[in-house]
Amino acid sequence: MPITQSAKKALRQSKKRNHENLKFKRKFKSAIKDFRKEIGAKSIEKAKNLLPSVYKTVDKATKKGVIKKNTANRYKSRLTQLLNKTVATK
């Protein structure tokens, strides 16, 4: 347990930041999961409508520092490729 006042404050800040980071991480991971579920179910129109909201949640996670910029770009690129590939095969 922290003893000094500054160590106690650092612990409080750390817990708060950890909670916020987990919240954003869950949001963007569930958004990606929902998108992939729609692709798997072959509901292309629903997946197309979901893609902008997935982009938005991934960008927010990036802005908050939960994931890095290149990681976010990679997620977005791969999801778009997946959608395009599914559309082309249909």
46, exposed or middle or buried, with CB in 10 Å at 0-12, 13-18, 19+? middle
In the chain, where the domains are located: 5-89
* CATH fourth-level superfamily of 5-89: Ribosomal protein S20 (1.20.58.110)
> In the predicted model, is pLDDT for residue 90 greater than 80?
no
CB neighbourhood size of 83 (10 A): 18
Lowest-confidence pick of 15-19, 57-61, 79-83, 86-90: 86-90
Q: What pLDDT score was predicted for residue 13?
A: 97
pLDDT tens sequence across 8-51: 999 999 999 999 999 999 999 999 999 999 998 988 999 999 99
Q: Token digits for 1?
A: 């347990």
Q: Token digits for 40?
A: 């798997």
Average pLDDT, rounded, for the chain: 94
Q: What pLDDT score was predicted for residue 1?
A: 86
66 DSSP assignment: S
